[in-house]
Amino acid sequence: MYIMDYHHHTNHSFDSKAVMNEVCTEAIHRNINEICFTEHYSLNPLAPTYGHINLKHYIKDIEQCRAQFEGKLVIKAGIEICEPHLLKSEYQKVLEPLQLDFILGSVHNINDKKLRLYLQHKTVEEVYGGYFEELYNLVKHADIDVLAHIDLMKRYAIKVHGNYDFDQFKPQLKDILTKAIERNIGIEINTSGMRSSLAEPLPSQAVLKLYKELGGELLTVGSDSHKVETVGDHISEAIALAKECGFRYVFTYDKRQPSAISI
Ligand SMILES: [Zn+2]
Ligand SMILES: [Zn+2]
């Protein structure tokens, strides 16, 4: 089976110390065929990510790893943008010349507040509902390839509010997924939740099934790992889950063009 990890961070992200060529070495050791690095990026000075990455150094690092691991590992250059629906033209100006392979879009902040802070002193409806509303705005406007970790809010809200009730938020999720399909934006199975106490992927199986029911096809798999030792974690399980939900392909990207890989 062709194994890919389409969500990985290194020390080009503010919250990772992983060295890129060490991640690549470990990926090969774990029989991963393809990796796409997706470093955090924000143009909003109030976002924690702001100002960390040096895009020139990042691309240079990618090129060095491509040369070093040629024939052993396919290496793609991606990015994970915070709130790409805000500052859209600013992002476009910076990113277009880079000819990246893959762009993930994330809601990490709402009204300039980190999700962890946003959820304080709010009801469960406000916490999850507000998050999904922001995600809808993202998918409606942003120029991205794939929507990252759709139900990310549960990672932070679970301790305070518990996990969300799928049926309660199904109408909002349906709107998000329908808009994604309409705009040719994919979703990912993010396995980071499978190595935490959440013990489930982001999004949950119910959301994946809904996406499939609505006609969604574009699906990527990623570990969202920030460490060398967790590259590719639970990816085989994620692919098995995709199959179980009725998907026949997962996708890789090259210069933002998707290619289907049979599963
Ligand atoms: Zn991160
Ligand atoms: Zn990430």
Q: Which ligand is nearest to the CA of 37?
A: 2
Estimate the share of the chain in helix, then strand, then coil, as percent rounded to the nearest 5: 40, 20, 35
- Residues in the 5 Å CB sphere of ion ligand 2: 80, 224
State the pLDDT at residue 95: 96
Average pLDDT of the segment spanning 229-233: 98
Contact 38, 102 (CB under 8 A): yes
Residues 1, 232: Cα–Cα separation, whole Å: 13
19-44 confidence digits (pLDDT tens): 999 999 999 999 999 999 999 999 99
72-82 confidence digits (pLDDT tens): 999 999 999 99
Average pLDDT of the segment spanning 126-133: 98
DSSP secondary-structure letter at 69? Answer: T
What would be the CATH architecture of the domain defined by 4-262?
Answer: Alpha-Beta Barrel (3.20)
State the pLDDT at residue 229: 98
State the pLDDT at residue 104: 98
Average pLDDT of the segment spanning 106-129: 96
Contact 106, 64 (CB under 8 A): no
Residue 105 Cα to ligand 2 midpoint, Å, equals 9
Per cent of the chain over pLDDT 70 is 100
Complete DSSP assignment for 78-106: EEEEESTTTTHHHHHHHHGGGT-SEEEEE
State the pLDDT at residue 133: 98
Residue 204 Cα to ligand 2 midpoint, Å, equals 17
Average pLDDT of the segment spanning 132-137: 98
Average pLDDT of the segment spanning 189-198: 96
State the pLDDT at residue 253: 98
* Cα 5 from chain centroid (whole Å): 11
Contact 219, 188 (CB under 8 A): yes
Q: Which ligand is nearest to the CA of 192?
A: 2
Count of Cβ atoms closer than 10 Å to residue 145 Cβ? 23
Contact 94, 137 (CB under 8 A): no
